[in-house]
Amino acid sequence: MKFPFRKIFYATLLIVTMAGAYFMLINSGFANLFSDLDLLVMRIRELGILGPMLVIGLMVLAIVFNPLPSAPIALAAGAVYGHVVGTIYIVTGAGVGAIIAFAIARFAGHELARKFLGENLSLGRLGSQNALTTIVFVSRLIPFMSFDLVSYAAGLTAIKLWRFTLATLLGLMPVSFILAHMGSEIVESSRGDVIVIILIIGLFTLVPLLINAVQRYRHRHQLNDPEQPL
């Protein structure tokens, strides 16, 4: 097997470039904008008709650069533009960012992963196009699941770009609408109320998944142990 020196070089160059860009964001103080909701709302309103471009651009950066938070941007979009329009801007920015992250992983890491992991990368039944599409879609519905890491991880699999994009956009819409709604109500509600709502949403999303996982584990355990009653 020919060692992929060129791919490793390009992947390393890309990682170094992204790391440099991230540290520039941090050192310039621009990264503080991502976590200051009041400042975000003020900057978006100051830009007028260019405000949506700021929302979309910040959302793209937040998805591509994993440590940057995206939730405050979504809340700010809802606070300035309301439920429906805010959701459109959130989905647009997050969708573009997810596709860029997917493309980076596909370009820099997919071939290398196949060479070094071989058949282990196929994931068995979970590696089918339908299964991968379902995994991406479900992951988008879970508020506390890392949106960024899922996008990068998907790029290392064999999932087709159009399937990834469709699953991402469909999964984004409900959570984006909820965040936009909370942002639109944030002026009338206390920050503590908003945090409680987010925790409740995450709880109701995760509990059914945990129950399903426990049921599957118990069923598999019973099948492996004939003495256990089914």
pLDDT at 199: 53
Domain end point (choices 155, 171, 188): 188
Confidence at 120, pLDDT banded by 50, 70, 90: very low
The mean of the pLDDT values for the chain is 77
- Per the structure, the complete domain to which residue 14 belongs is given by 5-188
Burial class (CB in 10 A: 0-12, 13-18, 19+), 41: buried
Asked whether residue 135 falls in the same domain as residue 93, the answer is yes
- Mention every residue, 6+ apart, whose C-beta is less than 8 A from residue 23: none
pLDDT at 195: 54
pLDDT at 27: 83
In the predicted structure, residue 166 carries a pLDDT above the cut 90: yes
Read off the pLDDT of each residue in 193-218 and give the average, rounded to a whole number.
53
pTM of the predicted model as reported, rounded to 2 decimal places: 0.74
In the predicted structure, residue 221 carries a pLDDT above the cut 50: yes
Asked whether residue 50 falls in the same domain as residue 119, the answer is yes
Q: Element (H or E) spanning 204, and its range? A: helix 191-224
Asked whether residue 150 falls in the same domain as residue 224, the answer is no
Q: How many domains does the chain have?
A: 2
Half-sphere exposure of 96 (CA within 13 A, CB side): 14
